[in-house]
C-alpha cells in the first residue's frame, strides 16, 4: 500500500542544515501495525509526517497504491489527510471550547459530511465515552481526551491511523487502555503507523522499525499472521479524484457556526473588534442624518422665500469711507412697492415692516415679532394659513385690525383652545385673530413660529409708527428674467429716488435663488465633510479588526494546524476567518445603525436639531462595514491559510 523510495528531507535551522531523513526506503502493506522507534532527532516523527501527508520529501518518491503523491499540491494533500489518514497526537489537540462529540465531528466538516454527525456519536461509543460525549475537553481526563482523539481519527473511516506518541502524556492505566483500542483497530483491518520512544509500547506492534540519524537501522517483523492485503484500496483512487473539492452549502453553514462559536468563545476580544466598526457606523448614520436633516430644513425654509424672489432693501451710503447706516439715503414707501409691481418682468411685489410688540390675551401676555405685509405675502412666502384665512385687499386699504398668529403664540396665549375669532391686544391695540400661520419650526435660537402677521398699513400707522417700509419682496414672472428684473428694479429705484452717481450703492437687491443655491451647496459640502469624518472612523475600526484578527491567528495557531491536519484546505481556513471578520463587522454595523438612529433621535429631541435618517445612509454604512470586514479580514485569513500544519501544531 505504501512505498518510500530513497526519501530524504532536510530542514534549515538558521545557518545549519538538519538532515532529518537520508535515503529512506520502506514498504508498508495493508493491515500492518508498525511502530517506529528511535532517540530524539532520529527522524521518526519526520518520517511519520511524510507518511501522513503532513510534509513533503525533498527527494525520492512516495507511492501510495502505485500513485506518486510526493508532488501533490496543498489542497490535494489536505483531501488525502481527510479521506485516507486519521491522526492521533501526543498533545491530543482537541479544540477546548466545544464538546467531545463536536471535536470528533470536525473531519466530517471538511469531507462535506456534516449531515453524518450520528457517525461521530457512534465513534464516541466505540471508544467507550458515550456518557462523556457532551463534555468539553477540560472536563475529561488525559486518557479520555486521547480516546476522543482516536474517535476523531476514525470518523471518516480512514485506511491508515497515524499515531504520534499516543501514550506519551498518559499514566500506565490510560496507556494500556489506548493500546488495547489501537490493537483492536488493527485486528479489524486498520493499518496503523505509530511513533514511540517506549519499548514496551512498541512491543504491542507487529513490526518495529528502529531509526537513528535519519536512517532505518533495523526493521523487525514479529507476527505475520494478520489480515494483510484485505483492505479495500479503491478509496485512495477516489480521494485523488476529489482533490478539486468545492465548498458546499452544508460546509458554508458549518463554517458560519464555527465562526460564531469562535467569536462567542472570546467575547471581550470580539467586543473590542466590533467597537471600532460600531462607533464608525453610528457616526456615519448620525452625521449623515444631521446633514440630511439640515439640508431639508434649509430647503423647507428657503421654499418660503420663493425661488423667483428678489428682496429689495435699503442699503447704506458711505461718506469718507464711513457707513451712514441702513436707509441713510434710500427709503422705500408703499408707493415704491406698487411701482415695482407694475414693471413688465415683475409678477407682484409686497412691502414688509417688522418690529417687537407685546401681546395680551385674557390673563396671558407674550412678547413677539410682528410683521406687516401685503396681501400677496401668503403666496410669495408659502405662508397660506393652516386654519382661518389671510387678510384681503380691502382690509389692507382700511388698515383693519386683523392678525394671523404663529403656533408658538397660539400655545403661549391660547393653549389648546381655538384662537380663530378671538381678540388679542397688540401694544394695547385690539386685534381680531383671523388665521393661524403654517408651522415652520426653529432655526438655531430663532423660532420661526414666534410671530404675528398684520396688514402692512396697519403695522405702519397703528402699531409701529413707521413712514417707510423695511423691505420689499418682488416675485419675478419667470426665472429667465431674473437678471433683466434686477436691472429694471435698479433703474426704477435710481429714477424714483433721484440718486446721484456716488450714492447708487445705497440700496440692495438680493437674489433669493442665488442665496438658496449657495446654502444648498454649503449644506452638501457639510454633509460630505461629516460623512467623510465618520468614514475615517470606520476605516480605523477596520484596522482594529485586522489587528485583532492577526492576534487571533497567532493565538489559534495550533487550532489552525489541527484543522489542516484533519483535512482543511487553504480555502476552508480563509473562509472561516473571513466569515469571522465579516460577522463581527456586520454585527457591529447593525448595533452601530441602531446607535446612530438613536443618537440622531436624541439630537433632534434634546438639541432641537433637524435630523433625517435615510435608507441610503443605512445601506451605505452597512455596505461599508461588510467591505471593511472582507478587506481587513482577508490579510489575517490568508496568513492563517499559509501556515504549515507541522509548524502550527508545534507552536508554543
Name the one residue in this structure whose C-alpha cell is 506519551.
168
The Cβ of residue 200 has, within 10 Å, a number of other Cβ atoms equal to 11
Provide the 3-class DSSP secondary structure of residue 363: coil
Longest distance between any two alpha carbons in the chain, whole Å: 130
Least confident among 99-113, 181-195, 394-408:
99-113
- Residue 309 placed within a domain: no
On the question of pLDDT at 406 being above 60, the answer is yes
SS3 percent helix, strand, coil of the chain, rounded to 5, is 50, 20, 30
Say what the pLDDT of residue 47 is. 92
Give residues with Cβ within 8 angstroms of 480, minimum separation 6: none
Number of independent structural domains in the chain: 3
Say what the pLDDT of residue 14 is. 74
Name the one residue in this structure whose C-alpha cell is 469718507.
320
On the question of pLDDT at 319 being above 80, the answer is no
Average pLDDT score over residue span 381-405: 93
Residues in the chain: 652
Give residues with Cβ within 8 angstroms of 637, minimum separation 6: 549, 573, 574, 575, 576, 577, 578, 581
Average pLDDT score over residue span 191-211: 90
pLDDT confidence of 318, banded at 50, 70, 90?
very low
Same domain, 148 and 35: yes
C-alpha radius of gyration, the chain, whole number: 43
Same domain, 87 and 63: yes
- Residue 79 placed within a domain: yes
On the question of pLDDT at 39 being above 70, the answer is yes
On the question of pLDDT at 250 being above 50, the answer is no
On the question of pLDDT at 328 being above 70, the answer is no
Q: What is the pLDDT of residues 338-357, one digit of tens each?
A: 999 999 999 999 999 999 99
Most confident option among 30-44, 240-254, 572-586: 30-44
The Cβ of residue 420 has, within 10 Å, a number of other Cβ atoms equal to 17
- Residue 325 placed within a domain: no
To the nearest whole number, what is the mean pLDDT of the chain?
83
Same domain, 494 and 564: no
Same domain, 237 and 265: no
**Closest Cα partner for 143 from 180, 118, 108, 112?**
180
Name the one residue in this structure whose C-alpha cell is 389671510.
390
What span, in angstroms and rounded, lies between the C-alpha atoms of 639 and 633? 10
Helix or strand holding residue 18 (H, E): strand 16-28
SS (HEC) of 549-584: HHHHHHHCHHHHHHHHHCCCCHHHHHHHHHHHHHHH
Average pLDDT score over residue span 435-440: 90
**Closest Cα partner for 357 from 275, 273, 264, 429?**
429
Q: List the CATH number of the domain containing 237.
A: 3.40.50.300
- Residue 8 placed within a domain: yes
What span, in angstroms and rounded, lies between the C-alpha atoms of 591 and 598? 11
Task: Enter the C-alpha cell of residue 162.
Answer: 497515524
- Residue 506 placed within a domain: no
On the question of pLDDT at 552 being above 60, the answer is yes
Integer CA distances (angstroms), 171 to 45, 141, 167, 321, in order: 22, 10, 8, 104
Same domain, 123 and 184: yes
Please give the share of the chain, as a percent, with pLDDT higher than 90: 25
What span, in angstroms and rounded, lies between the C-alpha atoms of 615 and 552? 34
CB 152 within 8 A of CB 106: yes
**Alpha helix stretches (DSSP H) within 199-357:** 199-202, 234-241, 249-265, 267-303, 334-341
On the question of pLDDT at 293 being above 60, the answer is yes
What span, in angstroms and rounded, lies between the C-alpha atoms of 178 and 189? 17
The Cβ of residue 6 has, within 10 Å, a number of other Cβ atoms equal to 13
**Closest Cα partner for 167 from 139, 115, 132, 202?**
202
Name the one residue in this structure whose C-alpha cell is 499559509.
642
Say what the pLDDT of residue 304 is. 57
- Residue 478 placed within a domain: yes
pLDDT confidence of 300, banded at 50, 70, 90?
low
**Closest Cα partner for 263 from 549, 62, 477, 646?**
549
pLDDT confidence of 257, banded at 50, 70, 90?
confident
pLDDT confidence of 237, banded at 50, 70, 90?
low
- Residue 171 placed within a domain: yes
What span, in angstroms and rounded, lies between the C-alpha atoms of 351 and 512? 16
What span, in angstroms and rounded, lies between the C-alpha atoms of 135 and 96? 10
CB 370 within 8 A of CB 356: yes
Say what the pLDDT of residue 34 is. 93
SS (HEC) of 405-462: ECHHHHHHHCCCCCCCCCEEEECCEEEEEEEECCCCCEECCEECCCEEEEEHHHHHHH
Say what the pLDDT of residue 556 is. 79
Q: What is the pLDDT of residues 140-197, one digit of tens each?
A: 998 899 899 999 998 988 889 999 988 888 888 888 888 998 989 888 888 999 999 8
Say what the pLDDT of residue 322 is. 44
Torsion region of 56: left, alpha or beta (phi above 0 gives left; psi -120 to 50 gives alpha)? beta
pLDDT confidence of 320, banded at 50, 70, 90?
very low
- Residue 215 placed within a domain: yes
What span, in angstroms and rounded, lies between the C-alpha atoms of 80 and 71? 13
Backbone angles phi, psi at 391, to 5 degrees: -75, 160
On the question of pLDDT at 519 being above 70, the answer is no
Q: Which of 463, 498, 533 is the last residue of a domain?
A: 498
Average pLDDT score over residue span 111-119: 76
On the question of pLDDT at 248 being above 50, the answer is no
Burial class of residue 459 in the structure, from the number of CB atoms within 10 Å of its CB (0-12 exposed, 13-18 middle, 19+ buried): buried
Say what the pLDDT of residue 354 is. 94
On the question of pLDDT at 374 being above 90, the answer is yes
Same domain, 30 and 163: yes
Same domain, 89 and 11: yes
Same domain, 383 and 235: no
Q: Which of 470, 498, 526 is the last residue of a domain?
A: 498
CB 189 within 8 A of CB 31: yes
pLDDT confidence of 358, banded at 50, 70, 90?
very high
b (16+ CB within 10 A) / e for 386-411: eebebbeeebbeebbbbbbbbbbbbe
On the question of pLDDT at 228 being above 60, the answer is no
Q: Which of 211, 246, 281 is the last residue of a domain?
A: 246
Average pLDDT score over residue span 616-638: 78
Same domain, 57 and 176: yes
Please give the share of the chain, as a percent, with pLDDT higher than 70: 87
Same domain, 265 and 412: no
Average pLDDT score over residue span 481-506: 82
Between 512-555 and 557-565, two packed helices, what is the crossing angle to 10 degrees? 70
Same domain, 100 and 236: yes
- Domain of residue 614: give its range: 259-300+518-649
Angle at 226 between CA 220 and CA 228, to 5 degrees: 85
Same domain, 265 and 187: no
pLDDT confidence of 553, banded at 50, 70, 90?
confident
On the question of pLDDT at 135 being above 70, the answer is yes
Angle at 393 between CA 390 and CA 395, to 5 degrees: 75
Say what the pLDDT of residue 232 is. 63
pLDDT confidence of 246, banded at 50, 70, 90?
very low
Amino acid at each position: 500500500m505504501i512505498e518510500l523510495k530513497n526519501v530524504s528531507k532536510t530542514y534549515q535551522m538558521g545557518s545549519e542544515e538538519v538532515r532529518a531523513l537520508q535515503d529512506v526506503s520502506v514498504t508498508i502493506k495493508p493491515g500492518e501495525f508498525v511502530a517506529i522507534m528511535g532517540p530524539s532527532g532520529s527522524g521518526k516523527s519526520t518520517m511519520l509526517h511524510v507518511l501522513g501527508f503532513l510534509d513533503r520529501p525533498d527527494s525520492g518518491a512516495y507511492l501510495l497504491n502505485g500513485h506518486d503523491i510526493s508532488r501533490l499540491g496543498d489542497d490535494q494533500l489536505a483531501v488525502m489527510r481527510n479521506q485516507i489518514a486519521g491522526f492521533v497526537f501526543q498533545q491530543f489537540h482537541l479544540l477546548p471550547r466545544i464538546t467531545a462529540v463536536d471535536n470528533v465531528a470536525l473531519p466530517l466538516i471538511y469531507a462535506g459530511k456534516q449531515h453524518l454527525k450520528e457517525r461521530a456519536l457512534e465513534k464516541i461509543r466505540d471508544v467507550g465515552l458515550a456518557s462523556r460525549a457532551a463534555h468539553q475537553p477540560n472536563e475529561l481526563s488525559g486518557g479520555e481526551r486521547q480516546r476522543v482523539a482516536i474517535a476523531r481519527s476514525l470518523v471518516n473511516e480512514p485506511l491508515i491511523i497515524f499515531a504520534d506518541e499516543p501514550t506519551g502524556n498518559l499514566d500506565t492505566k490510560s496507556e494500556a487502555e489506548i493500546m488495547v483500542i489501537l490493537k483492536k483497530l488493527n485486528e479489524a483491518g486498520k493499518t496503523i503507523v505509530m511513533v514511540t520512544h517506549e519499548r514496551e509500547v512498541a512491543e504491542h506492534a507487529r513490526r518495529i522499525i528502529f531509526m537513528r540519524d535519519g536512517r532505518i537501522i533495523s526493521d523487525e517483523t514479529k507476527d505475520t499472521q494478520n489480515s494483510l492485503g484485505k483492505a479495500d484500496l479503491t478509496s485512495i483512487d477516489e480521494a485523488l479524484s476529489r482533490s478539486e473539492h468545492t465548498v458546499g452549502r452544508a460546509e458554508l453553514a458549518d463554517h458560519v457556526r464555527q465562526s460564531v462559536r469562535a467569536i462567542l468563545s472570546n467575547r471581550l476580544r470580539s467586543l473590542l473588534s466590533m467597537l471600532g466598526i460600531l462607533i464608525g457606523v453610528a457616526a456615519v448614520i448620525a452625521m449623515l442624518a444631521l446633514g440630511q436633516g439640515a439640508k431639508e430644513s434649509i430647503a423647507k425654509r428657503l421654499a418660503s422665500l420663493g425661488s423667483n424672489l428678489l428682496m429689495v432693501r435699503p442699503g447704506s451710503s458711505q461718506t469718507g469711507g464711513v457707513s451712514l447706516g441702513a436707509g441713510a439715503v434710500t427709503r422705500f414707501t408703499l408707493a415704491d412697492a406698487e411701482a415695482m409691481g407694475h414693471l413688465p418682468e415683475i409678477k407682484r411685489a409686497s412691502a414688509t415692516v417688522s418690529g417687537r410688540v407685546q401681546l395680551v390675551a385674557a390673563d396671558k401676555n407674550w412678547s413677539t415679532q410682528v410683521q406687516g405685509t401685503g396681501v400677496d405675502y401668503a403666496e410669495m412666502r408659502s405662508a397660506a394659513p393652516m386654519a382661518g384665512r389671510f387678510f384681503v385687499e380691502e382690509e389692507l386699504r382700511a388698515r383693519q385690525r386683523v392678525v394671523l398668529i404663529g403656533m408658538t403664540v397660539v400655545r403661549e396665549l391660547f393653549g389648546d383652545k381655538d384662537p380663530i375669532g378671538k381678540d388679542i391686544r397688540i401694544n394695547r391695540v385690539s386685534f381680531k385673530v383671523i388665521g393661524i400661520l403654517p408651522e415652520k419650526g426653529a432655526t438655531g435660537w430663532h423660532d420661526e413660529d414666534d410671530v404675528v402677521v398684520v396688514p402692512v398699513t396697519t403695522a405702519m400707522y397703528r402699531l409701529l409708527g413707521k413712514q417707510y417700509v423695511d423691505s420689499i419682496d418682488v416675485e419675478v414672472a419667470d426665472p429667465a428674467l431674473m437678471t433683466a428684473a434686477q436691472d429694471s428694479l435698479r433703474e426704477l429705484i435710481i429714477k424714483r429716488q433721484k440718486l446721484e452717481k456716488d450714492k447708487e450703492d445705497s440700496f440692495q437687491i438680493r437674489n433669493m435663488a442665488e442665496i438658496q443655491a449657495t446654502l444648498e451647496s454649503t449644506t452638501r459640502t457639510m454633509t460630505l465633510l461629516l460623512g467623510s469624518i465618520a468614514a475615517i472612523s470606520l476605516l480605523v475600526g477596520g484596522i482594529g479588526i485586522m489587528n485583532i484578527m492577526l492576534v487571533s491567528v497567532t493565538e489559534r495557531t495550533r487550532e489552525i494546524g489541527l484543522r489542516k491536519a484533519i483535512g482543511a484546505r487553504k480555502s476552508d481556513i480563509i473562509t472561516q476567518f473571513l466569515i469571522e471578520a465579516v460577522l463581527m463587522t456586520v454585527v457591529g454595523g447593525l448595533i452601530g445603525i441602531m446607535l446612530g438612529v438613536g443618537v440622531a433621535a436624541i439630537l433632534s429631541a434634546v438639541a432641537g436639531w433637524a435630523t433625517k435618517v435615510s435608507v441610503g445612509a443605512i445601506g451605505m454604512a452597512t455596505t461599508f462595514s461588510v467591505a471593511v470586514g472582507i478587506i481587513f479580514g482577508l490579510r489575517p485569513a490568508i496568513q492563517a491559510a499559509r501556515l504549515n500544519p507541522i509548524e502550527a501544531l508545534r507552536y508554543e
